[in-house]
Amino acid sequence: MFVVYLVSALLAGILLGAFFFGGLWWTVQKMVATDRPYLLSVSSFVIRTAVVMGAFYLLLNADWTYMLAALAGFLVARTILAGKLKPV
């Protein structure tokens, strides 16, 4: 049962990484078209960070190994998205 939870935490980390870095990519794309890019960038950073840190906090409360698995998934998502999302 431990392995199932560990794989679930890894998948959760991949989803969190996709949310964080996909949101970062979206924010950078939209900054050129908005009147107040600073407001967009700050609000996007706060929302993305709050969601990811909240999820990591919940995983850390469950067990530290789940949080490490989620962190590994987060880094996997970063590596994949950095290769896929090229600048326009």
CA–CA gap between residue 80 and residue 56 (Å, rounded): 20
Other CB atoms within 10 A of residue 70 CB: 28
Q: What is the pLDDT of residue 49?
A: 97
Q: What is the pLDDT of residue 6?
A: 93
Tens place of pLDDT per residue across the chain (88 aa) = 889 999 999 999 999 999 999 999 999 999 999 999 999 999 999 999 999 999 999 988 988 999 999 999 999 999 999 888 776 5
Q: What is the pLDDT of residue 88?
A: 58
Residue keyed to tokens 């590596």: 79
Quick check: helix, strand or coil at residue 32? Answer: coil
For the chain, give every domain's residue range: 2-83
CA–CA gap between residue 24 and residue 7 (Å, rounded): 25
